[in-house]
Amino acid sequence: MQFLNHLFPNVVPIWTGDGGVVQAINETLYMTIVTTIVAGIIGLILGVLLVLWDEDGLVANRPAYFVLDKVVNVLRAIPFIILLAIMSPVTRALVGTGIGPTAALVPLIGGTAPFFARQVQNALLTVDPGVIEAAEAMGLSPMAIVFRVYLREGLGELVRVTVLTIISIIGLTAMAGAIGGGGLGNLAIAIGYQRYENDVIWVALIFILVMVFIIQFIGDVIARKLHH
């Protein structure tokens, strides 16, 4: 305790309680997990649609592909910090407030879903087209091919891009935190940076890095299990 007090003099007093370190960790986990699930589902659906509507896809649809492709590109091109500002009216309409972790979810999902959609598209395009053709020749429906071939054969790549996306979400939560979203990013900036309490910044960083390493580790374990 003595040692920690000495090393992180400003952290120990705010370890628990409102606006404390534990709360910040919980908020970051909350934003990361909810964003991963919601943006994951939206991105997966959009990514699959991009693959299916593609010129060489199972249900090629040129206009639909064109529109979705452009929307994904434009959304991905918007810097997250600007997206936060642009989406704030939407956030207020949906959540009732522009501040706090739940409010931060809206831009987080808005920024992550198109990113993940593109990642999913690229992951599924690594599936051997020959295998898709074989499934078609066996009389499988496009829906069955998505679930039984694309998502199955592309699983290893999907795990890889999911890990990549979750790590990127953790990074975005820190940014959202900086403008009032809460979490470790908020802790580092609002307390550590603005009050010149460098040890707080370091502690926030350490926890973020630990989260990233854990996600990476889990991803590697799953990837190894899937590899034949």
Partner 1 sequence: MAKEAVITLKDVDVRFHEKNRDVHAVDHVDLTVERGDIYGIVGYSGAGKSTLVRAINLLQRPTSGSVNVLGEDMLSLSAKALRGERKRIGMIFQHFNLMNSLTIADNVAFPLKGLRPKAEIQAKVTELLQLVGLEDRANAFPTELSGGQKQRVGIARALASDPEILISDEATSALDPKTTSAILDLLKQLNETLGLTIVLITHEMEAVKQICDKVAVMDEGAIIERGSLLDIFAKPQKQLTKDFIDTTLQLDAAIASVRDQPAVAHLQGADQLVRLTYLGASTDQPLVATLYKDFNVTANILFGDIQILQGTPFGNLIVVLSGSQDNIDRTFKYLADNDVQVQHIDKEA
| C-beta of 60 vs 210, nearer to partner 1 | 60
Kindly state whether residue 221 participates in binding partner 1, applying the rule CB under 8 A. no
Q: Can residue 128 be called a binding residue for partner 1 (CB under 8 A)?
A: yes
Report, in Å, the least distance between residue 162 CB and partner 1. Answer: 17
Choose, by CB under 8 A, the member of 38, 131, 164, 190 that binds partner 1: 131
Stretch that binds partner 1, among 19-27, 114-122, 135-143, 195-203 (CB under 8 A): 135-143
Which one of 2, 96, 138, 224 is in contact with partner 1 (CB under 8 A)?
138
Phi-psi region of 99 (alpha: psi -120 to 50; beta: other; left: phi over 0): beta
4 Cα distance to chain centroid: 33
Contacts of 105 (CB under 8 A, 6+ apart): 31, 34, 35, 38, 95
Contact between 228 and partner 1 by CB under 8 A: the answer reads yes
Enumerate residues 6+ apart whose C-beta is below 8 A from 54: 60, 65
The count of other CB atoms within 10 Å of the CB of residue 17 is 10
C-beta of residue 24 within 8 angstroms of C-beta of residue 203: no
- Closest contact distance (angstroms) between CB of 142 and partner 1 is 9
Contacts with partner 1 by CB under 8 A lie at 128, 130-131, 133-141, 148-149, 152-153, 155-156, 226, 228
